[in-house]
Amino acid sequence: MGLIVLYWLLVIVMVVGVIGAILPGIPGSSLILAAVVIWGLVTGFSNLALALGVAIVVWLLSIGIDFLAGYWGAQRFGASSWGQWGAAIGLLLGFFGLLPALPFGGPIIGIFFGPFVGAIAGEFLYRRELEFFPRLKLSFQAGVGIVVGSIVGRIIHALLAIGAIVVFIVTTWPAGFSVS
């Protein structure tokens, strides 16, 4: 009975991991991988090779997806490296609640708002040769591009996380209920 409870608790941890794939600040694929490893430690890793392999691949892919998606969005909307650095700095400032415009909402709002503001600021500093309104327009486009890229990356990350959970459940289902 204890293993069944542990099994479902680990599945719940994995679902929190899917939420973390969407919301920054929660270690999405890391939670899924940790849950698979815990189940493996408890069951001696029997019938877990595929689920563990998929969880590791999803974890590795998730590391690069956020970066590549943000980079793709930045490039697609014409952001320079200044805009990308601004987004990264804005992400950190937003996460730690250091943006002066965000006295409310905490890290979740800051994580979404910070990269947008940071990309705009970085791009605005980079495009000094332009007059104010064209400069502002390009800066805003860069901010939108980075946010769009991040959203696309989060969707891909969530789909991969769901896939890892499905593989885990399909490959461990009998083991989760046949042990008493």
Specify the pTM: 0.77
Cα(24)–Cα(91) distance, rounded to whole angstroms? 10
Tell me what the mean pLDDT of segment 27-32 comes to.
91
Radius of gyration of the chain (CA): 20
More confident residue, 101 or 145: 145
- Per-residue pLDDT of 32-43, as tens digits, reads 999 999 999 999
Tell me what the mean pLDDT of segment 78-101 comes to.
78
CB atoms closer than 10 angstroms to residue 85: 18
- Per-residue pLDDT of 99-139, as tens digits, reads 555 455 566 677 778 888 898 999 999 998 999 999 999 99
In the chain, domain spans = 2-178
pLDDT confidence of residue 93: 82
Residues 6+ apart with CB under 8 A from 73: 79, 145, 146, 147, 148, 149, 150, 152
Cα(85)–Cα(161) distance, rounded to whole angstroms? 27
With H, G, I as helix, E, B as strand and everything else as coil, classify residue 94.
helix
Single-letter residue type at 108: I
Q: What percent of the chain has pLDDT over 70?
A: 88
More confident residue, 154 or 112: 154
- Average pLDDT over the chain reads 85
Tell me what the mean pLDDT of segment 49-56 comes to.
96
Residue 175's Cα: distance from chain center in Å? 30
pLDDT at 2 exceeding the cut of 80: yes
Indicate the length of the chain as a whole number: 180
More confident residue, 105 or 68: 68
Q: What percent of the chain has pLDDT over 90?
A: 44
Cα dihedral 62, 63, 67, 68, rounded to 10, equals -60
Within 13 Å of residue 98, how many CA atoms lie on the same side as its CB?
A: 9
Cα(161)–Cα(175) distance, rounded to whole angstroms? 21
pLDDT confidence of residue 53: 96
DSSP state, 1?
Answer: -
Place of tokens 């490039």: 75
Mean pLDDT lowest among 18-22, 30-34, 91-95, 162-166: 91-95
Residues 6+ apart with CB under 8 A from 173: none
